[in-house]
Amino acid sequence: MSIAESIERAGPSPVRPRYAQTPDGAVVFDAESVDHARSDLFGPAAGRWQAHPAGRGQVVVIDRGEREWVLRHYRRGGLVGRIGRDRYVWAGLALSRPWREWHLIHDLYRQGFPVPRPIAARVVRRRWSYTADLITERLPAFSLWDEVVAGRVGPERWAAVGRCIRRFHDAGVYHADLNAHNILLGAGEAVFLIDFDRGRRRRGKRWKRANLKRLKRSLDKLQRQRDEVVFSSVDWRRLLRAYLAGGEKRRAWPSAGI
């Protein structure tokens, strides 16, 4: 299916995301945040730019006055990333990574889940490959690991993280890279999940356990890089206890190490 056909099939409903075809690709955007898919939406003209390190590269924070946006350019990691860097094989607009991520967080945001508000995403196609970008609203929060290192994550905060993850899991939402940097802590007990690249809705339960194991590995790895103890098995038990309080049977989920 061509880009034009994909956009036409999406429909013009005001409740749904808005779409626009560009000379070399397509843009999806939140009409309540931007009035139209301007050509400069993903460039410096969108606001004051400030680069920040993040994950496999960096994100750009765009100052919009009363609000801030986060612009992320999709990049590959590992050996494939060294070869392809930021290019992905074209298999259709609906299967492109930014299109799937944007629509997932758009649905989650509309349903009241603690995720950043999606602003826009674009795909730039070049024959059999494409590059992509995603813009979300910046959250007033800090990464779980930064807060752990700063000594600001007590028992109640660990419990809040466990309850947040359980809420997503109960809705069948799979986060493909659940780690200590993709969990943000805000004021009070606010907990957010970010970076849903390759995330999706899933059925069953086995993936939930693997999801938690991934987070545990992330925390253990970061702890090994420090001289002082900032994360321990006690913290993990607090998180897991709050997660399990939602109804999973304890005999199926060992309380210590998953």
Q: pTM score, two decimals? A: 0.86
Q: Which helix (H) or strand (E) holds 98?
A: helix 97-110
**Residues 177-197: what's their mean pLDDT?**
96
- 225 beta partners: none
> By three-state DSSP, how is residue 5 classified?
helix
CA distance 245 to 222: 27
Check if the beta carbon of residue 82 is closer than 8 Å to that of residue 91. Answer: no
pLDDT at 39 > cutoff 80: no
H-type helices in the chain, by residue range? 3-10, 78-84, 97-110, 144-149, 155-170, 206-224, 233-244
Write down the mean pLDDT value for the chain: 85
- 73 beta partners: 133
Tell me: the pLDDT tens digits for 224-255?
999 999 999 999 999 999 999 964 444 344 44
CA distance 100 to 81: 20
| Helices vs strands, H then E, count in the chain | 7, 13
CA distance 78 to 146: 24
Give the active site residues: 177
**Residues 157-168: what's their mean pLDDT?**
97
CA distance 246 to 165: 11
Binned at pLDDT 50, 70 and 90, residue 60 comes out as confident
CA distance 179 to 221: 10
**Residues 151-166: what's their mean pLDDT?**
97
**Residues 142-167: what's their mean pLDDT?**
97
60 versus 214: which is more confidently predicted?
A: 214
Scanning the structure block, which residue is given the tokens 């995603």? Answer: 134
Instruction: Give the chain's radius of gyration (CA, Å).
Output: 19
pLDDT at 12 > cutoff 50: no
CA distance 255 to 245: 11
